[in-house]
Amino acid sequence: QVQLVESGGGLVQAGGSLRLSCAASGRTFSKINMGWFRQAPGKEREFVAAAAWFAGMTSYADSVKGRFTISRDNTKNTMYLQMNSLKPEDTAVYYCAKLTTWPDGSEGSWGQGTQVTVSS
């Protein structure tokens, strides 16, 4: 019922920044916990960050803590991932998803995602 579309990926040098967006349709973000995940070629999908429906409650994977910031604008049904100090190991396809359990449990289908490539 809720459709999610990721955007904002691209190619950036190590140390650079990108801002990803996740636009939702079908219903509002009200009282829905959301998260960002990523998948590198040949690897399993991994948790990146989560944002609860109420302001201020977030969670981050250790690998991105201090570099990435998750936020959301419920009035626009949009979630963001500000990525700073990017590293080559951040290269992956990034997906957003509704959480079933806090902070990294998700189910359902996955869209195309948005490609992030960090060069050295």
Tens digit of pLDDT at every position of the chain (120 positions): 678 999 999 999 999 999 999 998 876 666 889 999 999 999 999 999 999 988 789 999 999 999 999 999 888 889 999 999 999 999 999 999 999 999 999 977 777 899 999 999
The DSSP symbol for 35 reads E
Q: What is residue 94's predicted lDDT score, i.e. its pLDDT?
A: 98
Give the closest residue to 102 by CA, choosing from 47, 56, 63: 47
Distance in angstroms (rounded) separating the CA atoms of residues 35 and 22: 10
